[in-house]
Amino acid sequence: MIDVRRRILTSPGLPGYSLLLIAVIFNIPIQGLSFFSLWNFGSIMANTTPLIMVAIAQTVIILSGGVDLSCGATMAFVNVTAIALTNSYNWPIPAAWAVALAAGIAVGLMNGAVIAFIRLPPFLVTFASMSIVSGLALWVWPIPGGTVPRALYGPYNGFFLVLPTTVWLVVLAVLIWYFLSRFPMGTYMRAVGGGERYAYASGIRTERVKLFAYAVGGFYTGIAGLCLTALTASGDPLIGLPFTLKSIAAVILGGTLFDVGWGSIGGSIAGSLFLSLVANIVFFAFNNLVNLFPGLQISTYYQELVSNVIIILGLSSAVITQKFGTKTRLQKKREAG
Amino acid sequence: MGIDLRRVLSGNTSFSSVYFKLKSNQAFMMLLIAIGLFLIGGIINVRFLSLTNIGSILGLAALLGFAAAGQTLVVAVGGGIDISAGSMMSLGAIIAVQVMNIRNLLILPSLVYILITGAIIGLINAGGIIRAKVPPLVMTLAMASVITSIQLLYSGGTPEGKPAPIITFIGTARLLPMLPYLVIVAIITVILMQFLLNRTVFGRHFFATGNNVNAAFLSGVRVHRIKTLVYMFSGMLAGTAGFWFAAYNTFINVNIANHFVLPSVAAVIIGGTPFSGGKGAYTGSIVGAIVLTLVESILIMLKMEEAGRKIFYGIILIGLLAAYNREPPIRQ
């Protein structure tokens, strides 16, 4: 029992899990019992899955000591590539989507190569590649439009083996990550994120590790772009922009620390769910207010303002819980002697 | 190897010492690149070198320079960045047109409103970054979306009003064909910024903090206060940049100045302010702004569409970074 408690307290995802718990507790009275319906769970998961995927990508990259500001643009690029190939060139869907996923990986590889081999700060490189990739997306598909056959977006919003399909997608993504991190590369990535010099001194080829991390990040970003395509069922070159901020916010809310190599995928998934639950809570809270006072008129802009402020408070509180977490780790060390 | 050569040569003759000083001075190299870009533009089209065209390029560069002013401070104080500068600039522009609304008397009140708003936004940014230890990138990104909501609430979605006639005159008219009044405002800003950074106690403490936070703290510099002031300055300068953007553009929308964020950071970095902070000057950022504006207008002259411009912009940025901002190999 004590072991379980210690495992929870020392888990890197603790801030994310506790924030998610708080959000769920607040959500239940505000939304009512309909929160527990499978349909509601499915719609929340369908809307959040693109963010969860891109948050996983961001976690992998941040764990290896980088950051990716181009992920939103890459998602849009993947989205418009898939749409353009099927709509304008009549490619079969599996081929088109595979090419779109490959495009996402290619962007990740380019970022990684420039960062690792030309040795530029990751933040500035991905800032520049954000411009390049969003330019490419505009070039491929300038105006929003296009369609996805129902055979694809139907199952995405539907159910499979009792649970929503998207839950299985997330489980699959997590399993792929656990498979990858069983290889030495998974440990190397955290080592490089924790201190590149020490990693190098221990005989790790840091350049390759960084390249690998960005390639994996590109893969998950590509999956996120495809999920977004299935969700919106159309192509839009600007659709990915908000995801850059949201993915980094989800990673920080999930307890992952910059430049330490400390964090987890699970925390980031909890952080993403927290972000969409906050939007849910604010939406229903405003709805309830309007229902309670029929004459009341509230501008919808307030909803955005309130949820953004809650996110900033969440970002600040993640640091507090992290302090708590590190303290228990130190205490544990002291107890062990 | 490079350092040895430099030492040897700088000891030998005065010429080579001057040469190496200039070569290591990134802002000077960028000035040469800017002159080269002017000539390239002239080769493509002779009218590119006409006085009116040079004037309009300098005017646009002045606007970008205003946007880069606060960014220079935030970057030079070490590891900081202000992504919310673009939204703050839009908010400044919206406050400017809504408060002034073609009345000359209200110029000063509108500026005061903008400065107070910018200071409050900067204070919140600094609070999150220093007290709650949120990374600057994340804090200001989140702040940018908050400021967007504030713009929407303040203007009701569609800002109405126009800047005062005097301000519109300064924003659009020219003293000489190649000297818009905006450039004169920019020159005054440069002088004020150089004074602030090089001739005041704040400036000394500012560079000390950027060089080494711990050393500065141990020498009695109130590091947190300096950083807080820097973020407040950044907010206020971004708001003022929005004021001049409103003067130049007169027609203002929500988030109209958001596209200034990327170029403003780029101008600071290619102007010679390293991302680690500790050195740098506003003059460098101005030169960076001129280079970026030149690249942009040459691409427009070549009738390149927005998609192509974005792609080239990113490639050029990576090229300039690769030339000047490479980190040392890990072996050393």
- For A210, A227, B157, B196, the CA distances from A109, given in Å and listed in that order, are 10, 21, 40, 43
Top-ranked range on mean pLDDT: pick from A201-210, B229-238, B320-329: B229-238
CA-based nearest residue to B262, from A62, A262, A129, A297: A129
Q: Which residue of B has its CA nearest to A315?
A: B134
Of A5-19, A92-106, A166-180, B272-286, the least confident: A5-19
Angle CA B157–B163–B169, to nearest 5? 145
Q: Chain B closest CA to A321's CA: distance in Å?
A: 11
pLDDT-based confidence at B20, cuts 50/70/90?
A: low
Tally the residues of chain B.
Answer: 332
The predicted pLDDT at position A314 comes to: 82
Q: What is the pTM of this model?
A: 0.84
Q: B308 and chain A: CB distance < 8 Å anywhere?
A: yes
How close are the terminal C-alpha atoms of chain B, in Å? 12
Question: What is the C-alpha separation between B261 and B274, in angstroms, rounded?
Answer: 17
Residues of A in contact with B135 (CB under 8 A): 252, 258
pLDDT in tens, A127-181: 889 989 999 999 988 888 888 877 777 777 777 777 888 889 899 999 999 898 8
Question: What is the C-alpha separation between B289 and A260, in angstroms, rounded?
Answer: 35
Question: What is the C-alpha separation between A259 and A247, in angstroms, rounded?
Answer: 17
DSSP at A69: S
Question: What is the C-alpha separation between B226 and B229, in angstroms, rounded?
Answer: 5
Angle CA B115–A315–A251, to nearest 5? 125
pLDDT-based confidence at B18, cuts 50/70/90?
A: low
pLDDT-based confidence at B275, cuts 50/70/90?
A: confident
Query: What is the CA A154 to chain-centroid distance, rounded?
Result: 23
Task: Please say whether the beta carbons of A158 and A166 come within 8 A.
Answer: no
pLDDT-based confidence at A3, cuts 50/70/90?
A: confident
Tokens of B248: 């130049």
Task: Please say whether the beta carbons of A226 and A102 come within 8 A.
Answer: no
The predicted pLDDT at position A33 comes to: 77
Q: Chain A window 287-316: which residues touch B at a Cβ cutoff of 8 Å?
A: 299, 301-302, 304-305, 308-309, 311-312, 315-316
List, in sequence order, every beta strand (DSSP E) within chain A: 159-160, 163-164
pLDDT at B2 over 50: no
pLDDT at A320 over 80: no
Give mean pLDDT, residues A212-239. Answer: 91
pLDDT-based confidence at B286, cuts 50/70/90?
A: very high
pLDDT in tens, B40-86: 888 888 888 888 888 999 999 999 999 999 999 999 988 788 989 99
**Residue found by looking up tokens 């769920």 in the block:** A24
The predicted pLDDT at position B124 comes to: 94
**Residue found by looking up tokens 């659709």 in the block:** A239
Query: What is the CA B113 to chain-centroid distance, rounded?
Result: 21
Residues of B in contact with A245 (CB under 8 A): 138, 141-142, 144-145
ipTM attached to this prediction: 0.80
pLDDT in tens, B224-247: 999 999 999 999 999 999 999 999
The predicted pLDDT at position A218 comes to: 95
Question: What is the C-alpha separation between B159 and B181, in angstroms, rounded?
Answer: 26
pLDDT at B288 over 80: yes
Task: Please say whether the beta carbons of A255 and A325 come within 8 A.
Answer: yes
**Residue found by looking up tokens 């440069």 in the block:** B190
The predicted pLDDT at position B30 comes to: 83
Q: Dihedral angle at the C-alpha atoms of B53, B194, B15, B12, nearest 10 degrees?
A: -150
Tokens of B258: 């958001």
Q: Chain A closest CA to B276's CA: distance in Å?
A: 10
pLDDT at A329 over 80: no
Q: Chain A window 82-111: which residues touch B at a Cβ cutoff of 8 Å?
A: none
